[in-house]
Structure formats: C-alpha cells, structure tokens
Chain A
Amino acid sequence: EDQVTQSPEALRLQEGESSSLNCSYTVSGLRGLFWYRQDPGKGPEFLFTLYSAGEEKEKERLKATLTKKESFLHITAPKPEDSATYLCAVHDFTGGGNKLTFGTGTQLKVEL
C-alpha cells in the first residue's frame, strides 16, 4: 500500500527565515504528487501538482520539487500569512478511482 510521510510535524519560523518541508513517499507507480495548504477548520487549498522526478513549480514564496523518493516544499522569506498546515498527497491505485493518500501534514507557524 502507498505511504506518505511528512516531516517535520510542526515548524516554527521567524518572518523571513526560509526553510523546507519534506514529503517522502512509497508508491507502486507515481501518477502525481500534490501539495495542499489547509487553514484551521477549512478544506485543503490546492497548491501544486508534480508528475515526474526533476520537476519544479513555483508560486509566490513557495517552490515545490520532486525526486523519485521525496518532494520538498521550499518556503522563501515566509510571512505570517503563510502559517497553515501543508499537506502532501499521492495518487493511490488501491481501492480504485482517483484516491489520494495524504500525509499527516506539517503545521507551519510564522512569527513576526
């Protein structure tokens, strides 16, 4: 069965202090790796989709990269409004359909 592990579980940064979140995965055949942002009590907000090793995507202060074993979400010069839980997910063939298997997320807190 596919597995997704995210680290660290929680991260506290000062405003402007860049860092990276990690998502390691085990899948029978990668069909897409997805990053979402989730604010407390709300649904996940789509950020990026990566399909193949070496692929990179950027959006404002966020940059996602993908290798054959893991993905990184790099946050450059974060601001307090970047505080949220960041979820990583992969497509999972088991169970049929377009099932996403999620990690437990990294809770990011950016302080002034």
Chain B
Amino acid sequence: DAGVTQSPTHLIKTRGQHVTLRCSPISGHKSVSWYQQVLGQGPQFIFQYYEKEERGRGNFPDRFSARQFPNYSSELNVNALLLGDSALYLCASSSRRHIQETQYFGPGTRLLVL
C-alpha cells in the first residue's frame, strides 16, 4: 500500500506570494494533519481535518488555511509568504480522529521563500 504522498517535493517562492501544498493520505485514512518543521526543530502542529471539517488548529496566523476533499486528500494554503515561512511542511494521516491514533507522515514539501 502507498504511504502518505505530498506534492510538490520542493518549491521556491518570493515574499508576498501564495502557495498551495497537497497531500494524499494512506488509503482508508480519514484524518489529515499538517505540520511545519523549521530546520533543527521538531514539527509544529498547524491543522487537523477529519471528514472535511477542521478539528484542531495550532498557533499559526490566518495566512494559513487548509481544506479536505471528499476523497480525504487535503490542501494547505499559505498567503502573503514571509521569509520565516521557509520550512519543511509535513502531512500526516491517521485512520480516525481519535487522539490515540498513530499518525503516519509523508515525505514533506520543502518550501523556500526568498
């Protein structure tokens, strides 16, 4: 079975631009979470979506938004990019929304903002 997939793998943008990152969860998984990982740090939670609804939100500005589609894939959108948004963006899926569920991560999208 395929794991979590993310696209694109790498992306270079300039300040002020907008970016859309995509994630496909493991087949059968209905929950998708997004994390931001800055170099040298652990991942930081951005959002969780389950059954197309937002179920959790981390301490990120409103420039960050996401949505989940009927096939459970998800998009993360970031507006008005700042240099500090440069990071590895990770998507994780789990089979249910329950907090005990193990999350499986994708390979990430490396975003560089110039």
Taking Cβ atoms with an 8 Å cutoff, the residues of A that contact B are 4, 31-32, 34, 36, 41-46, 49, 51, 87, 89, 91-93, 95-105
Contact = CB atoms under 8 A, between A and B. Distances in A.
Given A93-B99, A96-B56, A101-B45, 12 more contacts: A43-B4, A43-B105, A43-B107, A44-B90, A46-B103, A92-B45, A96-B55, A97-B47, A97-B56, A97-B57, A97-B97, A97-B99
B102 A46 contact: yes
Give the size range of B's interface with the partner.
35 or more
Contacts of A44: 43, 90, 105
B102 to A, nearest CB: 5
Nearest to B110: A41
Contacts of A51: 100
A95 B40 contact: no
Contacts of B103: 34, 46, 98, 100
B29 to A, nearest CB: 12
Contacts of A42: 107-108
Interface in B33-48: 33, 35, 40-45, 47-48
Given A43-B105, A46-B102, A87-B42, A98 B97 contact: yes
Interface string B83-107: 0000010101010011111111111
